[in-house]
Amino acid sequence: MARDGSQHLRRPPEVHDAYFKPYPGYYFTGDGAFRSDDGFYQITGRMDDVINVSGHRLGTAEIEDALDEHPAVPESAVIGIPHDIKGEVPFAFVVLKEEFSDDPPVVLQQLRELIATKIAKYAVPDHFLVVKRLPKTRSGKIMRRILRKVATETTGDLGDVSTLDDPSVVTEIMDAYELYRKQRGAEEKKKK
């Protein structure tokens, strides 16, 4: 293999462009990281999981890390969805532990405050959807594209879901979203 990676597994030129062109002489994995004052590197998440909220670039992993610090949240997933004014806004899918599932509004308010304090007010998701579980592949990777399709109401074609550990989770999330959408609609009517 050539030192510059141009013969990268004899793949087409676009492979070379994607992995070797962004930073000549280096292999670009697509992962973001930072180096601490102590010289340690911390992976912050995928670079393609970065959203732009009113000109502020946010890694969704950073928001997820803040959410997951709350004792009620065993796991979460954050995606960006389009917004007419802000460009994109965070949409958080949150799993609550059983003992906290009776009072989601209180927990969600605490999560908003946590993110505003730990990151910034502009990082607080515009939307929180409490779900029982997240759509994961058999290897445990969250299928964010499904969450994005649910949040953007484009579930007509979910694409390949054969790698999901349990495909029934998609229906659960879609049902939870539909209930959320109806509740938001009722709240907006009250405001008028």
Q: How does pLDDT run across 20-66, given as a tens digit for each residue?
A: 777 788 877 777 777 888 898 877 666 667 888 999 989 898 999 99
Q: How far is residue 107 from each of residues 79, 91, 149, measured CA to CA in Å?
A: 20, 16, 25
CATH class of the region 22-191: alpha beta
| pTM of this structure | 0.78
pLDDT, residue 176, reads: 96
Contacts 24+ apart (CB under 8 A), 138-142: 138/163, 138/164, 138/165, 140/165, 142/77
Q: Are strands 127-131 and 87-95 parallel, antiparallel or unpaired?
A: parallel
Residue of 109 and 18 predicted with greater confidence: 109
Separation of alpha carbons 157 and 163, rounded Å:
16
The domains of the chain are located at 22-191
Separation of alpha carbons 129 and 175, rounded Å:
11
Residue 83 has pLDDT above 50, yes or no: yes
Separation of alpha carbons 131 and 172, rounded Å:
8
Residue 107 has pLDDT above 90, yes or no: yes
Q: Write the burial class of residue 177 (CB in 10 Å: 0-12 exposed, 13-18 middle, 19+ buried).
A: buried
